[in-house]
Structure 1
Amino acid sequence: MRRCRKTLSTAALTALLVGSTAGWASASGAGALNGPPPGTAAWLADDSLGRALPDPTTTTPSAVAAFFADLTDAQQQRLVEDHPTVVGNLDGAPVHLRYEANATAGDQVLAYDPRGRGLIARVAGDLENAAHVSVIVPGSDIDLPTSDRTARWAADLQEAAGDDTAVIAWVGYTTPSGIGADLATGRLAGTGAERLARFTDGLDATGLPDPALFCHSYGSVVCGLAADGTDASDIVVMGSPGMRADDVTALGTGARVWAAKSPHDWIDRVPNVEFLGLGHGQDPTSPDFGATVLPAGDVPAHDAYFTPGTSTLTAFAAIADGGLS
């Protein structure tokens, strides 16, 4: 009976959210940014090297890495100059070339796409020489104009973890905007998971260490769906509405799974069930889920898990630099 009441409360809550936000459809129901990067048509038409350039959509990151490894420095440089919007977003391309291609968007930008609400991936630390790599996957209402918050979290985590760790603020998928259907379903998370898996494949293809994923709020839904498609060493979720999995085993990953939820986080008032595709399932901090639960009693709010001095940031830093097992 208790499970029935919880399921009905979730359905009622979701119906209220979706029904009361009908006027927001253009924002919350916006299509996810997907497909090839800008400039792909010109890239594919370029035959100046005497061979086809790798298709950004169908070529695997490992094949992209092999393609660039076979080029001279001068040939690589010409591709950056002629096709910056492709090279700057091409998973598997060398890190320094992606930085150079995205130089107009800022320092150490690993991906940049200004279309729609915009996507960006920014790096804190020395990624090319890092012994440890972390990727922060943000939740709803984060896009290019609001990406500074995720970049700040990355900088705080990198500083806490130390010089041999690099942290990527990956605003690399279209997040839900406002309160509405997209927040309650896995539609945008599914596309985000595909993009995250390809992004981490690109890190692997360039010889970087297996990353630790730090997934906040709706970003934990993305990480849950991407879990079996990445080579992450660790998956850390915080303020999670669920990972669309009943337990750690259902994630299909060999990564260590960690979870944190503050008693001051409003997410604790959201029922953790999935009903007719609405809601995101089991609470990752529940005993039945099987994740290692991290202390979070001193975290003051939903968006404060990376705050310097908190128990969560201390634990996150230990995970990021490989010191917590």
Structure 2
Amino acid sequence: MTVTIDVPPSQPAEVIKPEGDPGGADTLAEALHTASGRYEEFSDEAARIQWIGGWFGDAADSYREATAEAGDEHAAMGTTVERVGRAVTAYADTLRDLLRTYDEQVERKRSLDDRRTALIADIGATTEATPEVVAALRERATELRIDYSELVTDHDDLQRRVREAEDLLRQAFQAGTSLDAALSDDGGIPQFAQDAMDRPGAPGTGATPEEVRDWWEGLSEAEREAVVASYPELVGAADGLPAGARDDANRVVLDDDLATLRAKAEDGTISEAEQQVLDNAEQAEQALEDADAFEDPITGERPGGVLYLYDPGAFDGDGRVAVGVGDLDTADDVAVFTPGITTTMADTTGYTGQMMNLYESTRYNGDGSSVATLFWLGYDAPDAFYDPATLTEGRAEDGGRRLADMVDGLRASRSDDPAHLTAIGHSYGSTATSYAAGDFDLAADDVVLVGSPGAGPADHADDFSVGEDHVYVGRDSRDFVAVLGDEGWIGKGGLGLGTDPSSDDFGATRFEAEDVDRSWHRNTDEAHGSYLAHDSESLYNIGLVVDGHGGDVNTAEHSYDPWYDAPRDPEWDRDPSSGVEGESRTRDQG
């Protein structure tokens, strides 16, 4: 009896590689951004020389009219060239993704072809075609046919995405090729992108994070790429969008800022405010380079960096920024860290290093769950210890509101796959985090306060949205800021910003957070800033909380204020550990 086994053909005949060089596209984008800066410089100069003292009459009027017109035209062309440059930047990023997908499909086809060759060989080597043997071979052939079919479908999708990306780039160039387009209300934005932004739920319309998420999910791949390229500032700041989309958009704006402002700096035409924006942009650039190069300590893979928020000119040049380490869209455990006073975008690189420390601690001492850590500077932190804003809670309240909104957006973007989320606040940032959890229903699972001058509106851990059992506090006994909060029946005369969360009256879980260096100079800002330092007690315990195992932290006795004496901290006399067993083996970020 003849037995037939239908072996599927190898499909597709060839995996077609997308054409183009992302590096070349980046070079073109940089040239366009530089050209945009030149147009802007001309417009600024035209405004400066428009009025010449002592010159009046018809000729002077004609001169001023012509100068103003030329300035307006150059400003409009600068905006249009900038938008084309952003489209090219977005295309370069898209092309990188397409090439990665191509490489994956080439590998899939190679694996399927190997399976096909092995199947044919096994069929040819079969000497006894028992029903069981035939059934097994036919099952392998069926599975192979299904896998080839899926590859063909994915390959067709890849080619469609290639065509859409190229069409979008062509539209961007066509929309920006004339002065009329530059001077139009849309400034040369492709109609494709404008139509997408006119739909309900688009960023900038006052939509809720959930509505923004639904809007995004209703867009095609091409429409998403179009709005990222044409409206990157709106997309990059939109709560409810995936972190990956915000990262794509914010990197487009970052690349634009770097190229345009560096060109101005080279020409000597950069203003003081623009120089501050450039300094902030370069901090974000360095932080992203560090985060992108970071390797997971367990797998050795690079989880990648995320530019979740980028607004380098905000708060009179202090800037707003959020840089993540790991995939915020998929990580099982997510930590959001809010810093305190004196923090500006100038500190972005250093805090990103601390996020690497926290990532490693969580992975080393965790249960194998995936991790993402985020440095979030989305509020206007007070400028210094002597800043009057430091002595009040106004900015902490505003920061708490902004933090709660941001977390709501992160939650909305992952409504079908919620992460275990820990909100960590340091110093004045702990007071902001307390406002988020106490007054604005922060959608976190756990809250960690370290180096806290006070818990703001909360008198007790149970006032927080996460509940008493999910509030953790770290306080170095030599930290001069963390002793300012009120405790006991007398308090400290309003020196701090609410109740000391490490005190017995507050009811949080206090963990060990001492530094092994007990020399006198540790009673300074060094102790206050060491909570995420390499191989510290604090870092170890915070990592456990982030991993969802707060019950395993090494607990410390609470501080207390007896009515008959000064406040006391039992941790003052304990010998700290330089390396808790199983503690994070993170490298020192300096």
Scaled by the length of structure 1, the TM-score of the pair is 0.81
Match of 1:324 in 2: 550
Match of 1:101 in 2: 249
Percent identity over the alignment?
31
Match of 1:14 in 2: none
Task: Give the distance between the partners of 2:532 and 2:392, measured in 1 at CA.
Answer: 26
Unaligned runs of 5+ in 1: 1-38
Task: Give the distance between the partners of 1:281 and 1:238, measured in 2 at CA.
Answer: 14
Match of 1:142 in 2: 343
Q: 2:374 aligns with which of 162, 168, 173?
A: 168
Match of 1:3 in 2: none
Structure with greater strand percent: 1
Residue-pair matches, total: 284
Match of 2:460 in 1: 247
Aligned-pair distance for 1:130? Answer: 0.8
Q: Deviations over 1:141-177 (max 9, x none)?
A: 1111122222121110001111711100111111000
Note if contact 2:203-2:234 (Cα within 8 Å) is conserved in structure 1: no
The runs of 4+ residues in structure 1 deviating greater than 6 Å are: none
Corresponding position: 1:221 with 2:368: no
Q: 1:315 aligns with which of 511, 534, 541?
A: 541
Aligned-pair distance for 1:292? Answer: 0.1
Q: 2:409 aligns with which of 202, 205, 211?
A: 202
Alignment of 1:40-59 (within 5 A): 47-49=194-196, 50-52=198-200, 54-56=202-204, 58-59=206-207
Task: Give the distance between the partners of 1:299 and 1:266, measured in 2 at CA.
Answer: 17
Task: Give the distance between the partners of 1:212 and 1:299, measured in 2 at CA.
Answer: 26
Aligned-pair distance for 1:47? Answer: 4.3
Task: Give the distance between the partners of 2:507 and 2:545, measured in 1 at CA.
Answer: 18
Corresponding position: 1:264 with 2:490: no
Structure with greater helix percent: 2
Note if contact 1:133-1:210 (Cα within 8 Å) is conserved in structure 2: yes
Secondary structure in 2 matching 1:128: coil
Aligned-pair distance for 1:80? Answer: 0.3
Q: Which moved more, 1:283-292 or 1:222-231?
A: 222-231
Residues 82 and 203 from structure 1, CA distance in 2 versus in 1: closer, same or farther, beyond 3 angstroms?
A: same
Task: Give the distance between the partners of 1:203 and 1:299, measured in 2 at CA.
Answer: 37
Task: Give the distance between the partners of 2:533 and 2:225, measured in 1 at CA.
Answer: 40
Q: Which moved more, 1:135-144 or 1:249-258?
A: 249-258
Note if contact 1:262-1:299 (Cα within 8 Å) is conserved in structure 2: no
Structure with larger Rg: 2
Secondary structure in 2 matching 1:123: strand
Note if contact 1:210-1:231 (Cα within 8 Å) is conserved in structure 2: no
**Counterpart AA for 1:315:** N
Aligned-pair distance for 1:72? Answer: 0.6
Alignment of 1:2-13 (within 5 A): none
Unaligned runs of 5+ in 2: 1-82, 84-184, 255-283, 289-305, 364-368, 518-526, 552-590
Task: Give the distance between the partners of 1:274 and 1:189, measured in 2 at CA.
Answer: 20
Q: 1:82 aligns with which of 213, 230, 236?
A: 230
Task: Give the distance between the partners of 2:221 and 2:308, measured in 1 at CA.
Answer: 19
Residues 112 and 274 from structure 1, CA distance in 2 versus in 1: closer, same or farther, beyond 3 angstroms?
A: farther
Aligned-pair distance for 1:268? Answer: 4.2
Task: Give the distance between the partners of 2:244 and 2:211, measured in 1 at CA.
Answer: 18
Q: 2:447 aligns with which of 217, 223, 235?
A: 235
**Counterpart AA for 2:501:** P
Match of 1:23 in 2: none
Note if contact 2:447-2:466 (Cα within 8 Å) is conserved in structure 1: no
Aligned-pair distance for 1:209? Answer: 1.0
**Counterpart AA for 2:481:** I
Note if contact 1:136-1:150 (Cα within 8 Å) is conserved in structure 2: no
Match of 2:310 in 1: 112
Bigger RCO of structures 1 and 2 (CA < 8 A, at least 6 apart): 1
**Counterpart AA for 1:90:** A
Task: Give the distance between the partners of 1:200 and 1:268, measured in 2 at CA.
Answer: 26
